[in-house]
Amino acid sequence: MGARETTKEFYQRYGQGYAETGQFYVSKIEEYDGKLFINFNRRDFYKITLLIAGEGTLTYPNKVIAIKPNVMVFSNPMIPYSYESVSGGEKGYFCLFPEEFINDQLKIESLSQSPLFKVGGNPVLFPDETSMAIIRNVFELMLAENASSYVNKYDLLRSFLQIIIHESLKIDPPLNYGKATAPAERLTALFLELLERQFPIPSPSHSLRLKNAKEFADQLSVHSNHLNRVLKRTTGFTTSEHLSQRMIKEAKTLLLKSDWDIAQIGYCLGYDHAPNFYSFFKKQTGSTASHFRKQDVANS
């Protein structure tokens, strides 16, 4: 698997001008001659595809899915995938957007459970005729709006995106490929990737999205006990131990490299109450956070 494909590389690969805003892109599949998914890789953007013609094979780390017309495919930066066309002549729509396009409205509880954001869920859905008509119409609206000069068009595009996500939540997941449990090595790799995606923390106002073993397990569609057993067997550490180790590594980096208040650093790592973070840091390192920071200053 190669390096993660960026949004800019995607545009360049298909001869498209790169949008410096990096906000949102929508297009018809046929404009790309059906060559949308090529190598098995991760991307740094989210993507929703509505296929109305063409067949192929979609490959994930833990499953292979036969793709036929009238299907929706949801892709996020967490999971690598590849697509191999079987029939050629794919037609339909797709949109892609980076993490920074997603605001709090798109991260509300109900939408967070959609195929777009839920790792380990059902990334492929088969809408009925009514849903297909609605979603196809929304894609047409997005195409028109994306080409407009309306000053608030990205807010409107987010609203269209919400409609698509809500429609996807109404669709029953297919029964033919189920929730296949990933082999231990793949589940471990998915967990570690999901963990690492939360770092580095970009600003004092940013807080970790996944803070405990259950939240990670839910994202991977496994029970927390199963995830713990797999990680303990393959790495020697439990989910909580991995998370604690990575949080301490980030805490040390922020204490040494940033001027953020210690309470702010604790908040970023999921501790709303500063004393809880102070206790966590002391337990993990044997030193207080303030002493750790002062000691580094003294030695520099």
* CATH code for the domain in which residue 295 is found: 1.10.10.60
pLDDT for residue 163: 94
Domain C-terminal end among 138, 170, 202: 170
More confident residue, 43 or 241: 241
- Of 29-38, 126-135, 152-161, least confident by mean pLDDT is 29-38
- At residue 24, the pLDDT reads 87
Which residues make beta-bridge pairs with 82? 59
pLDDT of residue 11 exceeding 80? no
Do the domain assignments include residue 176? no
Query: Do residues 165 and 196 share a domain?
Result: no
Res. 257 pLDDT band, cuts 50 70 90: very high
Residue 275 falls within a domain, yes or no?
yes
Q: Which residue has the tokens 């029964």?
A: 175
Looking at the structure, tell me whether residues 65 and 188 fall in a common domain. no
Q: Are residues 126 and 253 in the same domain?
A: no
Residue 217 pLDDT: 85
Q: Which residue(s) pair with 28 in the sheet?
A: 93
Range of the domain at 227: 184-299
Asked if residue 179 belongs to a domain, the reply is: no
The answer to whether residue 225 sits within a structural domain is yes
Q: Give residue 175's identity as a one-letter amino acid code.
A: L
Which residues, at least 6 apart from 34, have a Cβ–Cβ distance to it below 8 Å?
Answer: 54, 85, 88, 89, 90, 91
Q: Which of 48, 147, 156, 46 is nearest to 102 (CA)?
A: 46
118 and 194 both lie in a single domain: no
How many whole angstroms separate alpha carbon 1 and alpha carbon 278?
A: 40
Find the CATH number of the domain harbouring 26.
Answer: 2.60.120.280
Q: What is the pLDDT of residues 184-224, one digit of tens each?
A: 777 888 888 889 888 999 999 888 988 999 988 887 777 88
Report how many domains make up the chain.
2
181 has pLDDT over 50: no
Higher-confidence residue of 86 and 52: namely 52
For residues 192 and 291, state if they share a domain.
yes
| 221-225, long-range: CB < 8 A, 24+ apart | 221/118, 221/119, 221/120, 221/121, 221/179, 222/120, 222/181, 222/187
Last-in-domain residue among 170, 203, 228 = 170
pTM: 0.60
Question: Does residue 2 belong to any structural domain of this protein?
Answer: no
Q: Are residues 59 and 129 in the same domain?
A: yes
**Mean pLDDT for the stretch of residues 122-126:** 87
pLDDT band at 22 (very low <50, low <70, confident <90, very high): low
C-alpha 34/C-alpha 93 separation (Å) is 11
- Does 122 fall in a domain? yes
Is 50 exceeded by the pLDDT of residue 178? no
